[in-house]
Amino acid sequence: MRAEEVQSDITRVLVTEEQIQAKLDEIAAQVTADYDGKELLLVGVLKGAVMVMADFARALPTHMTMDWMAVSSYGTGTRSSGVVQIRKDLDTDLHGKHVLIVEDIIDSGLTLSWLLTNFASRGAASVEVFALFRKPDAAKVEVDCRYIGFDIPNEFVVGYGLDYAEKYRNLRDVAILAPHVYS
Ligand code: 5GP
Ligand code: MG
Ligand code: MG
């Protein structure tokens, strides 16, 4: 795979690495203020949230702990179905913890809404969501999301952790995938 081939799979860059980092600093400052004196647990949803978790956690000047969940929402290609299965559960007991779920993107909202229901019975002191991207035009269910990075158009995007068929996660910017790749 050559670098030019990767570039020809991209229609245009939507959000740059610099814009993402600036936004993460902004949200980290809000989170720092909002969770003052509280025990903060960041829960990343694998694998898409790996990059945002790595950068967001380092933008926080406070103590925090980190855990991961892997879920698969069955669906094909560029659509999720809302039928969610846990592939890897948390290692952490949520009792008394202030949980902030860190997500790459909210599309239909089905995955997050399932996760929030799943977390509701685990005894956390609070559960909130930070999603780096959200597609407001794609929402099938409303998800109460406290922190949003960017609202983006209803297009399939890749990069900064977001994949198509497991590829493109390593792109530094977030870009619209050219339809010729998946159609
Ligand atoms: P939802 O359940 O909200 O429809 O979407 C859940 C998951 O589908 C996201 O966490 C993400 O992994 C994937 N997804 C949704 N939209 C996109 C997109 O535009 N690009 C990529 N690469 N993944 C997406
Ligand atoms: Mg995700
Ligand atoms: Mg994916």
Instruction: Please give the structure tokens belonging to residue 119.
Output: 């977390």
> Does some domain include residue 72?
yes
Mean pLDDT of the chain: 93
Cα-based angle 122, 124, 127 (whole degrees, multiple of 5):
110
> Does some domain include residue 12?
no
pLDDT, tens digit, 9 for 90 and up, residues 67-121: 999 998 766 566 666 778 999 999 999 999 999 999 999 998 998 999 999 998 9
The whole-angstrom separation of Cα 60 and Cα 127 is: 18
CA of 35 to the centre of ligand 1 (A): 27
- Closest-lying ligand to the alpha carbon of 80? 1
| pLDDT recorded at residue 149 | 98
**Is residue 99 classed exposed, middle or buried when 0-12, 13-18 and 19+ CB atoms within 10 A define those classes?**
buried
What is the pLDDT averaged over residues 54-69? 98
Residue 13 has pLDDT above 90, yes or no: yes
> Does some domain include residue 157?
no
Selected catalytic residue, list 9, 55, 104, 107: 107
> Does some domain include residue 165?
no
> Does some domain include residue 36?
yes
Structurally, how many domains does the chain consist of? 1
Q: Which of 40-49, 73-82, 147-156, 159-168 has the lowest mean pLDDT?
A: 73-82
* CA distances to 102, 152, 180 from 53, in Å: 7, 20, 30
> Does some domain include residue 57?
yes
One-letter amino acid for residue 60 of the chain: L
**CATH number, residue 68:** 3.40.50.2020
Three-state DSSP class for 141? coil
Residue 107 is among the residues annotated as catalytic for this protein: yes
Could you tell me if the ipTM is greater than 0.90? yes
| pLDDT recorded at residue 75 | 61
Instruction: Please give the structure tokens belonging to residue 73.
Output: 């929402």
Range of the domain at 103: 17-152
Q: What are phi and psi of 172, to 5 degrees?
A: -80, -35
Closest CA to 67 of 82, 49, 83: 49
> Does some domain include residue 163?
no
> Does some domain include residue 148?
yes
